Amino acid sequence: MWLYTDTVTEHFQNPRNVGEIENADGIGDVGSLACGDALKLTLKIEEDRIVDAKFKTFGCASAIASSSALTEMIIGMEVAEAEKVTNEDIADFLGGLPKEKMHCSVMGREALEAAIADYRGMTLPSAEGEVVCECFGVTDIEIKRAIKESNLRSVEEITNFTKAGGGCGKCEDKLVELLRQSVSEGLKIVSPEVKPKRMTALQKIKRIEEVLDREVRPGLKMDGGDIELIDVDGDLVIVSMRGQCTSCAKSETTIKELVEKKLREQVLETLIVEEEK
Amino acid sequence: MDKVVYLDNNATTMVAPEVLEAMTPYLSTLYGNPSSMHTFGGQVGKAIDTAREQVASLLGCEPSEIVFTSCGTESDSTAILSSLRARPEKRHVVTSRVEHPAIKTLCENLGAMTAASYRVTMLKVSETGLIDFAQYLEALSEDTAVASIMWANNETGNIYPVPEMARAARERGILFHTDAVQAVGKIPISLKDLDIDFLSMSGHKLHAPKGVGILYVKRGTPFAPFLTGGHQEHGRRAGTENVASIVGLGKACELAEQKMDEENTRVKALRDKLETGLLSSIPRSMLNGAKDQRLPNTANISFEYVEGEAILLHMNRFNICASSGSACTSGSLEPSHVLRAMGVPFTAAHGSIRFSLSVYNTEEEIDFVLEKMPPIIAELREMSPFWPGA
């Protein structure tokens, strides 16, 4: 059982500003079903001031509470002021979050940044960074920022705040390096415990979903079909065809030739794609 | 309802009042050491003998085949490591992808535990969580030392054909272990006619206290103790006996035997009512597990597009206790390995709730849960960015 503050519990039980603003001036959509939490933030902005904010969140109590708190904090703020809101501010507003749940507050800040960038028609700087944690798609820019802003001292703390390193753990060396780079800024480094290197399904799932979205689904949808990722077991990728594709005699060919080829090219050379029976 | 509605009996159970009553003297006046020569200690030894008989009666085996341990996990480790020592030339283990961490993590770390290198086959399961028998047979090889398949799954309640699997192993000279922690007391078991070499069970899953378990070791099965030291348990498990808990476990087994029919009739009917009610009143909900091959007390249901921890905490406001396979409830970042092995889509895996009943549940409680759940799910879906509408 998590130890949540009364404020977290209160915001979880009575969330403020749930919903979606129609014709929003800024939209921030972060997270995914596979990752276990997602937040869609919509803003109404008049003369560079946030006059309304609404959210929809899929996730645990602290994700819902963080989203609710975020909207309460930013309504009435000027955009320039809202830009300075950090995940720490969100966590502080809630009286603190369990350390393993700090990434919920980070998700709030990310959605806010994305919504503001959308309002300004700009690309987020973090999106231009190099992806360090492929499991959860976290870039070096996001990690460095979290290290600096939240004064992180270990890989474990980076994982708690950004999710980076929480999947397969393969990026651990890079995380240690990013921590080292912060030494010049006067931070103490705690060496992480050496964990066995393992590859979890989550890393692959994230990449596979991206490739399916970008390369496969658009084509299938034109034919009234769709594809769903069911499971990844080692190198075996189980998918299921949806819609028109279910009855299509060519679906096996589609899977073998199209999906497997794309996934091998863009994710991992050894992947085998099979359709769920 | 002020009272706690406890539907989390696969996690742990209430200590039965009769069990507590049977234990109490051994925590106060009857504190002797069962190994002592004097009558004062000896009478405690007799209480352990009685408990051993009560356990053997429930399992349909000889009392001498029962070894008391500290928990199911200890029993599992003992059985597997003992099997590997008994078959030192063999380097292969067969198990499934849906085992409890007590087996799963052990099998993933056999190298570190034994300083030898093992090949482990983790059998796949179908979308209802069942193991293909042909696949199981195919996995058994000349090199297999032990096969370990759970009797019933803790998350879905699925029951596996352990008697048939044990026979196939025996025919090939392979030792067979089953983690029966969830099965014992819920479904009838009679070990004397079966080819099971080792069976693990745990006290706190059947209304005995936490911190006591047993390992059944079939007569004639080669055995190497996990804990060595004194001669307790006939040299099979050293360490002074947890007397009060052992006495409690014995009593709990006696009660379970008496209530076996009730578990499979009244409790099963309550589970079915809960399950049918939830699936029919809540759209986009689905059953995880094999409907007709399950424990009578377990229902695992996924509510799509919502997250399990959030559901549990809303249920908690009404004092309704259950569990979830979502990532957030475990503190890890990935959902249940059992649901993932079954290929439950992510849309549903994060929103899975396990209800597990006991003979202490009432129809009034089930009605209460059936009334409270639909609005909880609806409210969370209202705020889910993925909810496409019913």
B281/chain A closest Cα distance in angstroms: 22
Q: Which of A32, A216, A220 is nearest to A111 (CA)?
A: A32
Helices B308-316 and A61-74 pack at an angle, to 10 degrees, of 90
Average pLDDT over residues B169-194: 97
Asked if the structure places residue B334 within a domain, the reply is: yes
Which residue among B220, B255, B290 closes a domain? B255
C-alpha span between B308 and B302 (Å, rounded): 9
Q: Which of B329, B361, B379, B387 is nearest to B155 (CA)?
A: B329
What is the pLDDT, as a whole number, of residue A245? 65
Backbone angles phi, psi at B332, to 5 degrees: -85, 175
C-alpha span between B363 and B270 (Å, rounded): 6
Asked if the structure places residue A194 within a domain, the reply is: no
What average pLDDT is seen over chain B?
Answer: 95
Asked if B213 and B353 sit in the same domain, the reply is no
pLDDT at B189 over 80: yes
Coil vs helix vs strand at A92: helix
Backbone angles phi, psi at B225, to 5 degrees: -65, 155
In this prediction the pTM is 0.81
Burial bucket for residue A243 (CB in 10 Å: 0-12, 13-18, 19+): middle
Which residue among B255, B276, B299 closes a domain? B255
Which residue among B192, B225, B255 closes a domain? B255
Q: Which residue has the higher pLDDT, B108 or B347?
A: B108
Structural domains counted in chain A: 3
Asked if the structure places residue B203 within a domain, the reply is: yes
Asked if A208 and A167 sit in the same domain, the reply is no
Asked if the structure places residue B388 within a domain, the reply is: no
Asked if the structure places residue A1 within a domain, the reply is: no
Asked if A149 and A254 sit in the same domain, the reply is no
B112 in contact with chain A, both atoms CB, cutoff 8 A: no
Maximum Cα–Cα distance across chain A: 63
Structural domains counted in chain B: 2
Asked if B243 and B372 sit in the same domain, the reply is no
What is the pLDDT, as a whole number, of residue B335? 82
Which residue range(s) make up the domain with B190? 18-255
pLDDT at B219 over 90: yes
Q: Which residues of B touch A33 (CB under 8 A)?
A: 305, 346-347, 350, 386
State whether B334 and A202 contact (CB < 8 Å).
Answer: yes
What is the pLDDT, as a whole number, of residue B325? 86
C-alpha span between A146 and A169 (Å, rounded): 18
Asked if A145 and A214 sit in the same domain, the reply is no
Q: Which residues of B touch A167 (CB under 8 A)?
A: 333-334
Asked if A175 and A249 sit in the same domain, the reply is no
State whether A59 and B307 contact (CB < 8 Å).
Answer: yes
Confidence band of B177 (pLDDT split at 50, 70, 90): very high
Task: Find which of B130, B132, B309 to mutate to test the A interface (most A CBs within 10 Å of its CB).
Answer: B309
Sign of the Cα pseudo-torsion (B86, B90, B91, B92, in order) = negative
Q: Which residue has the higher pLDDT, A193 or B156?
A: B156
Please report, in angstroms and rounded to a whole number, the separation of the first and last CA atoms in chain A.
Answer: 38
CATH of the domain at A146: 1.10.10.1100
pLDDT per residue of chain A (277 residues) written in tens, 0 to 9 = 788 999 999 999 999 999 999 999 999 999 877 777 899 999 999 999 999 999 999 999 999 999 999 999 999 999 999 999 999 999 999 999 998 888 889 899 999 999 999 999 887 766 668 888 877 778 888 888 888 888 888 888 888 888 888 777 788 888 888 888 876 665 444 444 433 334 566 777 888 888 888 878 877 777 778 888 888 877 788 888 877 766 665 666 666 677 888 888 888 777 888 887 6
Which residue range(s) make up the domain with A206? 201-275
Residue written as token pair 């003998």 = B49
What is the pLDDT, as a whole number, of residue B145? 97
Q: Which residues of A touch B332 (CB under 8 A)?
A: 166
pLDDT at B135 over 90: yes
Which residue spans within chain B are E strands per DSSP? 5-6, 66-69, 92-96, 119-123, 144-148, 175-179, 198-202, 213-217, 285-287, 298-303, 320-321, 323-324, 352-356
State whether A15 and B309 contact (CB < 8 Å).
Answer: no
Residue B297 CB contacts under 8 Å (≥ 6 apart), including other chains? B9, B10, B157, B186, B263, B267, B268, B271, B356, B357, B358
B309 in contact with chain A, both atoms CB, cutoff 8 A: yes
Maximum Cα–Cα distance across chain B: 73
State whether A100 and B385 contact (CB < 8 Å).
Answer: no
Asked if the structure places residue A190 within a domain, the reply is: no
The pLDDT tens digits of the residues spanning B265-322 come to 999 999 999 999 999 999 999 999 999 999 999 999 999 999 999 999 999 999 999 9
B256/chain A closest Cα distance in angstroms: 30
Residue written as token pair 């050379």 = A269
Asked if the structure places residue A171 within a domain, the reply is: yes
B3/chain A closest Cα distance in angstroms: 20
What is the pLDDT, as a whole number, of residue B268? 98
Q: Kindly list the strands in the beta sheet with B323-324, ordered across the sheet, starting from the edge strand earlier in the chain.
A: B285-287, B298-303, B352-356, B323-324
Asked if B61 and B128 sit in the same domain, the reply is yes
Long-range contacts: B224-230, Cβ < 8 Å, 24+?
A: B224/B81, B224/B82, B224/B85, B224/B86, B225/B78, B225/B82, B226/B74, B226/B77, B226/B78, B226/B81, B226/B82, B230/B35
Among B314, B333, B382, beta carbon nearest to A36: B333
Q: Which of A265, A263, A204 is nearest to A233 (CA)?
A: A204
CATH of the domain at B283: 3.90.1150.10
Q: Which residue has the higher pLDDT, B261 or A245?
A: B261
Strands B119-123 and B92-96: parallel
State whether B333 and A163 contact (CB < 8 Å).
Answer: yes
Helices B39-59 and B243-262 pack at an angle, to 10 degrees, of 30
Is B328 part of the annotated catalytic residue set?
Answer: yes
In Å, how far are A30, A39, A136, B148 from A33, measured between CA atoms?
Answer: 10, 10, 12, 34
CATH of the domain at B219: 3.40.640.10
Q: Which of B240, B376, B361 is nearest to B306 (CA)?
A: B376
Q: Which of A216, A171, A101, A151 is nearest to B333 (CA)?
A: A101
Alpha helix segments (H runs only) across chain A: 6-13, 61-74, 79-82, 87-93, 102-120, 125-128, 140-150, 155-162, 172-181, 201-211, 217-222, 251-253, 261-266
Strands A236-243 and A225-233: antiparallel
What is the pLDDT, as a whole number, of residue A167? 73
State whether B317 and A13 contact (CB < 8 Å).
Answer: yes
Among A55, A59, A276, beta carbon nearest to B310: A59
Q: Which residues of B touch A236 (CB under 8 A)?
A: none
Asked if B312 and B366 sit in the same domain, the reply is yes
In Å, how far are A72, A73, A86, A273, B111 from A77, measured between CA atoms?
Answer: 10, 8, 14, 49, 58
What is the pLDDT, as a whole number, of residue B25? 98
pLDDT at B329 over 70: no
Asked if the structure places residue A205 within a domain, the reply is: yes
**How many contacts (CB atoms, under 8 Å) link A and B?**
89
Asked if the structure places residue A95 within a domain, the reply is: yes
Least confident of A184-188, A267-271, B125-129, B333-337: A184-188
Which residue among A93, A120, A147 closes a domain? A120
Residue written as token pair 């692959």 = A204
The pLDDT tens digits of the residues spanning B239-259 come to 999 999 999 999 999 999 999
Which residue among A133, A158, A185 closes a domain? A185
C-alpha span between A6 and B60 (Å, rounded): 51
Coil vs helix vs strand at B147: strand
Provide the ipTM.
Answer: 0.87
C-alpha span between B232 and A50 (Å, rounded): 73
Q: Which residues of A touch B350 (CB under 8 A)?
A: 33, 36, 58
Catalytic residue among A104, A135, A168, A245: A104
Among A9, A56, A276, beta carbon nearest to B385: A56
Alpha helix segments (H runs only) across A163-216: 172-181, 201-211
B389 in contact with chain A, both atoms CB, cutoff 8 A: no
Q: Which residues of B touch A24 (CB under 8 A)?
A: none
Least confident of A222-236, B55-69, B126-140, B338-352: A222-236
The pLDDT tens digits of the residues spanning B18-70 come to 999 999 999 999 999 999 999 999 999 999 999 999 999 999 999 999 999 99
Which residue among A72, A100, A120 closes a domain? A120
B347/chain A closest Cα distance in angstroms: 6
Q: Are A48 and A80 in contact (CB under 8 A)?
A: yes
Query: Looking at the DSSP assignment, which residues form a beta bridge with residue B69?
Result: B213
What is the pLDDT, as a whole number, of residue A195? 35
Tokens of A1: 């059982």
Helices A155-162 and A102-120 pack at an angle, to 10 degrees, of 60
What is the pLDDT, as a whole number, of residue A192? 43
